[in-house]
């Protein structure tokens, strides 16, 4: 899922996708910091645990995350690619 926010790319991932992508990027990297800054969305009353995470990053970081995702978790790459494409179309 995607949405443009002030020239930044907003990416929405499931909590599981985020965990897998975090595991694939280098710790203490700019990319890892962008993932750590995500905002968690709570579920409903039945399942109050976070179910989705949204984070914004520059186009450059989004492309770096896309490269990592393509190599290690292709299903995550689909959402990142869609966010990048949408932001590029809005320029």
Q: Tell me which residue range forms the domain holding 23.
A: 2-89
d(CA 6, CA 75): 26
Taking the chain (91 residues) in runs of 10, the rounded mean pLDDT of each run is: 60 90 94 89 62 88 95 94 87 64
d(CA 56, CA 37): 8
d(CA 10, CA 76): 14
- Count of the separate structural domains present in the chain: 1
Are the beta carbons of 87 and 6 closer than 8 angstroms? Answer: no
Q: What is the CA radius of gyration of the chain?
A: 13
The pTM (predicted TM-score) of the whole model is 0.80
Task: Give residue 5's pLDDT.
Answer: 44
Length of the chain: 91
Task: Give residue 49's pLDDT.
Answer: 59
């Amino acid at each position: 899922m995607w949405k443009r926010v002030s020239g930044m790319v907003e990416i929405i991932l499931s909590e599981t996708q985020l965990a897998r992508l975090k595991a694939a990027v280098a710790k203490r990297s700019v990319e890892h910091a962008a993932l750590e800054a995500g905002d968690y969305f709570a579920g409903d009353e039945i399942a109050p645990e976070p179910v989705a995470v949204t984070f914004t990053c520059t186009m450059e970081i989004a492309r770096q995350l896309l490269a990592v995702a393509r190599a290690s978790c292709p299903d995550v790459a689909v959402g990142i690619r869609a966010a990048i494409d949408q932001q590029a179309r809005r320029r």
